[in-house]
């Protein structure tokens, strides 16, 4: 079919607007009632990607580095629906910005899973470095949309 894991994730994530800590409790993971990165809010998709201080810091770093203002959390409205939020941040900007939004969302999700299932927690800076590394891999492998971001390859080390 050709869908990448990032695309498949974004098709499924809106349907699971609650990442469902209550369901996780039923499945024997009662400890995960609170969001794994900030341990203070019940875990929902909206909190995971838009409200959590850890995720917002990642988004801010990505937006600043890429000059994609639509990825800057300070410009977002309050959303109660994951799909509404994602469409709002990707309704403007280039395909490259949309791809970067997808890439960032994917890495925040992977970080959440690393904490929940492997008790492995990265710093904001380490997660940002992973996003930049994958960006670099996509761009070097001919990811056409990323060339439009015009991020200097020497800024990759920042």
pLDDT digits (tens, 9 = 90+) for 69-85: 899 999 999 888 889 99
* DSSP class per residue in the chain: ----HHHHHHHHGGGGSS--HHHHIIIIIGGGGB-TTTSSSB--HHIIIII-HHHHHHHHHHHHHHT-GGG-GGGPPP-S-HHHHHHHHHSSS-HHHHHHHHHHHHHHHHHHHHHHHH-----HHHHHHHHHHHHHHHHHTT-GGGGGG---GGGGG-
Q: What is the mean pLDDT of the chain?
A: 76
Q: Rounded to two decimals, what is the model's pTM?
A: 0.73
Positions in the chain short of pLDDT 50: 1, 7, 14-31, 33, 152-158
SS (H, E, C) 61-100: HHHHHHCCHHHCHHHCCCCCCHHHHHHHHHCCCCHHHHHH
pLDDT at 22: 43
pLDDT at 128: 97
pLDDT at 25: 43
pLDDT at 156: 43
pLDDT at 36: 65
pLDDT at 95: 82
């Amino acid at each position: 079919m050709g869908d990448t894991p990032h695309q498949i994730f974004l098709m499924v994530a809106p349907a699971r607007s609650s990442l469902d800590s209550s369901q996780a409790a039923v499945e024997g993971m009662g400890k995960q009632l609170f969001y794994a990165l900030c341990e203070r809010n019940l875990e929902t998709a909206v909190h995971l990607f838009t409200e959590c201080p850890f995720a917002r810091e990642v988004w801010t770093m990505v937006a600043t580095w890429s000059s994609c203002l639509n990825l800057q959390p300070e410009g977002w409205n309050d959303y109660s629906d994951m799909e509404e939020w994602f469409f709002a941040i990707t309704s403007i900007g280039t395909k490259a910005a949309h791809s970067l939004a997808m890439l960032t969302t994917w890495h925040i999700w992977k970080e959440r899973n690393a904490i929940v299932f492997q008790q492995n927690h990265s710093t904001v800076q380490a997660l940002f470095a992973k996003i930049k590394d994958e960006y670099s891999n996509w761009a070097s492998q001919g990811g056409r949309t990323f060339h439009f971001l015009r991020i200097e390859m020497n800024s990759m080390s920042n």
